[in-house]
Amino acid sequence: MAEQITKEVALSEVYEAGQLSVVKKTPHEVVVDAAKAAKELKNIVDNKPKKVMINGEQYLEYEDWQTVAKFFLCSVKTTDPLPVTFNNVDGFTARSEVIDNRTGMVIGGATAYCMRDEPNWKDKPLFQLASMAQTRAGAKGLRNCFAWVVVLAGYKPTPAEEMDGISPSIEDVCPIHGETWVKFSKKGAVWYSHKMADGKYCNKGDVETRWGNLCKLAMSKANLDAESDTAPLIHGLGIEKETTAELTSQEKYAFYTKLADIAAES
């Protein structure tokens, strides 16, 4: 009987609080719990074989947000997607609710859309737009509840699904290996690198220094003094661009390799 009363009291406290992981806890205890969840999340997400990287920052996908929710004994449900039209643009909308599994209470939610005027979705079948509307709603609802934990783990608080259509810039990809740079930070220091096949890391700063020095040396030996002078070399690679600033990472790699050959021959 005493055990049953204790459970009922604890449950009533949860209902009165209307929040997750804040019952009978100090702010410090809440932050400690969040830090533990953030650490476990990072262990999982950092080992994903394919990450969503945009401008050097990592964004979490729907399943990552669901993992965070599980840490706090929560889940998310979405409504059936509904067709909508705005300014003659068709699409779908859906709504989500985040539920505290201990009490059944709704503690958050969100509404999201997937429309035909989005570049990545203008030619997709309708069922895919409907599905994405649900995915976005679920991810956004979880973001509204757990963004503070995700930020503690070092990730951007916007769900990856909401960044759909935004591609990494040229500078976000290693010109040697074609891998996306990943942002790291420790004790105030920030750097970018990516893991190689042998388990070692390729550092962005080292690559930029290496290729920058090689470029200067090769251009000097080839008697190229201005950026515009590189156009003949670029065209010689079959690339119809005028300056190195216009090159993709892979094109830059081919260009720098050509410069290395020039330097070696001189």
Domain boundaries, the chain: 2-167, 182-265
Which pLDDT value is given to residue 205? 83
Which pLDDT value is given to residue 198? 86
Which pLDDT value is given to residue 19? 47
Residue 246 near residue 239 (C-beta atoms within 8 A): no
CA–chain centroid gap for 112, Å, is 19
Q: What is the dihedral of CA 81, 82, 83, 86, to 10 degrees?
A: -110
Q: What is the mean pLDDT of each run of 10 residues along the chain (266 residues)?
A: 40 41 71 92 85 78 95 96 95 97 95 92 92 96 95 90 64 72 74 84 82 67 60 78 72 71 66
Which pLDDT value is given to residue 258? 73
Rounded to two decimals, the pTM is 0.59
Which pLDDT value is given to residue 30? 87
Which pLDDT value is given to residue 144? 95
Residue 78 near residue 134 (C-beta atoms within 8 A): yes
Q: What is the DSSP secondary-structure string of the chain?
A: -HHHHHHHHHHHHHHHH-SSS-TT--HHHHHHHHHHHHHHHHHHHTT-SS-EEETTEEE--HHHHHHHHHHTTEEEEEPPPEEEEETTEEEEEEEEEEEETTT--EEEEEEEEEETTSTTTTTS-HHHHHHHHHHHHHHHHHHHHHHHHHHHTT-BSS-GGGGTTPPPPGGGB-TTT-PBPEEEEETTEEEEEEE-TTS-EEEHHHHHHHHHHHHHHHHHHTT--SGGGGHHHHHHTT---SSGGG--HHHHHHHHHHHHHHHHH-
Interatomic CA distance for residues 53 and 124, integer angstroms: 23
Interatomic CA distance for residues 126 and 124, integer angstroms: 6
